[in-house]
Structure 1
Amino acid sequence: MDGETRVDLHYVSSNHQHYKRIYESYETLTDRFEKVNRYCSETFPDIAIENFTRNQQRGETGHQGVFHYLGVGSGSGDSDVVILTQLAKRLPRIEATITEPSDKMIANFKSAISESGNDALQKIKFTWNQATIEEYMKMPQDTKFHCIFLCGVLAYFKDVDQVVQYLYSVLAENGTILIVTEAGNETNIFYEVWYPGRFPSIKEQTGIPDNVIASFERHGAKVTASNLKCILDGSTLFDEESESGNLLLDLMTGVVDCRKTAPPEFLRQLFDFISDSSVSFKQEGKFLLKNDRLLIIVQK
């Protein structure tokens, strides 16, 4: 890859409509969403509630028994709704602040709440912010959050350490942050492709998990991490006429219409890399990719 120069490409992160199409297709190709939501339903709420209860038992003041939740880059709120549903079953008062730059995604989130049929969920007081986390950071507010949730957004932060510092500063004592992101090398195809400097023709991705963990630890946080094994069906990647394959390629590289706009040599090198990577394998006639999630728990 030495000597490769950058080219002018349009990035998925700035095209919310295309990003929505990508994710709708991606959902049909991976078991990631099912497994993440199972964790968000069965495991994580216990951790968040236990820490919140510890604060109440210690006589924490200023929150008046209200559980404060912050969703960062929540999209349509698929996993947020799962977490909040479980929290709402066990906590009497929840105030949820949601940040998301796409108005359409926020509308979808609101629809998911109204259509849930869950009375407890609909009693949650929501505050909606059509903003990136960087934009939200500039807004005046003094809330300390007992739970902060981020899923699949690290790669879109302009300055990871700045965001980490902010999130830790607004986390309540004994509060909990859950970050769901691409797992590390040899366990996730996105990590392998996004690793800084590996493919300099595309926009360098930020938010590599090791960097995020180290950043939180520098600020004094207690951090634990574990892998959640997931699989992605990449069989259509090599079919130039496949819509799902082309959308997956866009997601993998972060480039809109990558197959049409990226230099042919870049595409050749990328496909060679994917084919030979330790994260790919064949099973029952399918070309599969490791799509593990890294579950990062941050506690204050």
Structure 2
Amino acid sequence: MADSDSSNVTPLISNQKRYAEALLVYEHLGRNIEALESWINSYFSEKIMKEIKVEKEKELMVLGIGSGQGQTECKVLQQLLKEWPKIINTVVEPNPSHINKFEDLAAKEREILDGVSFDWRQQTLQQFRQETQDQLMKKYHFIMLFHVMYFFEDLEDIIQYLKSILEDGGMILAVMECGNVCNILLLC
């Protein structure tokens, strides 16, 4: 292999349009979306949701971090609606194109997502954290992160922060891929 100068390489994340295109190709070729959806429809709905200790009559406060275009998050919301008929979903996604596509998907799936209200935040988790730090700390019953933990420099700090905004009885679901293996992290 020839010697290459990596200083000429522009990080993909610095070009949002190119990043979005690469993510779509990666999702199509790299991730087994059907397997993740199957897991959400079976194991998540049968086992994981039972571990969320929130009264069924309460509004379920959900935080989606790096929600992308919303395909996976909508599948999770559909499952959560089976137990909690009212959900407030805060979507934290830095890419405006992804938020627009998620909004379009939510509008298209309006009947399936009946009971979910959305709070759209076009920002990074760091920006969201900074913006909300002076406010009375809002807590969430369910926090989900799909394939975004790679972007955090101080993972320990992020996990501590997420735990600090998690309601008692709530759960954090983080999914990330390492090679051909999909790793799932659950924090209650």
Same-fold call, TM cutoff 0.5: yes
1:92 is aligned to: 85
Amino acid at match of 2:16: H
Structure of greater relative contact order (alpha carbons < 8 Å, 6+ residues apart): 1
CA distance in 1, matches of 2:54, 2:95: 34
How many angstroms apart in 1 are the aligned matches of 2:101 and 2:177?
24
What aligned pairs does 1:191-202 form with structure 2 within 5 A after superposition? none
Cα offset, 1:170, TM superposition: 0.5
After superposition, what is the alpha-carbon deviation per residue over 1:131-155, rounded to whole angstroms, capped at 9, x for unaligned? 1111111122522111111111111
In the alignment, residue 145 of structure 1 is paired with which amino acid?
Y
Verify the 8 A CA contact 1:48 1:176 in the aligned structure 2: no
Specify the SS of the correspondent of 1:121. Answer: coil
Instruction: Tell me what 1:180 maps to.
Output: 175
User: After superposition, what is the alpha-carbon deviation per residue over 1:152-193, rounded to whole angstroms, capped at 9, x for unaligned?
Assistant: 11111132222111101011112111111123xxxx1xxxxx
Q: Residue 168 in 1 paired to residue 169 in 2?
A: no
Contact 1:176 1:298 in 2 (8 A): yes
Which consecutive unaligned segments of at least 5 residues does structure 1 have? Answer: 58-63, 189-290
8 A Cα contact 1:72 1:99, kept in partner: yes
Letter of the structure 2 residue corresponding to residue 114 of structure 1: A
Matched residue, 1:50: 50
Report the residue type matching 2:181 in the other structure.
Answer: D
Q: Does 1:134 align with 2:108?
A: no
1:226 matched to which residue of 2? none
Cα 1:122–1:14, aligned 2, differ >3 Å: closer, same or farther?
Answer: farther
Deviations 1:221-267 (A, max 9, x none): xxxxxxxxxxxxxxxxxxxxxxxxxxxxxxxxxxxxxxxxxxxxxxx
* CA shift in 2, pair 1:5/1:30, >3 Å: closer
Match of 2:143 among 148, 152, 171: 148
Alignment match, 1:74? 67
TM-score (norm 2): 0.87
Of structures 1 and 2, the larger Rg is shown by: 1
- Contact 1:16/1:102, CA 8 A, preserved across alignment: yes
1:293 aligns with 2:176: no
Q: TM-score, normalised by structure 1?
A: 0.56
Q: Aligned with 1:90: secondary structure?
A: coil
| Counterpart for residue 94 of structure 2 | 101
Which residue of structure 2 aligns with residue 37 of structure 1? 37
How far is the alpha carbon of 1:47 from its aligned partner? 4.3
CA RMSD after TM alignment: 2.1
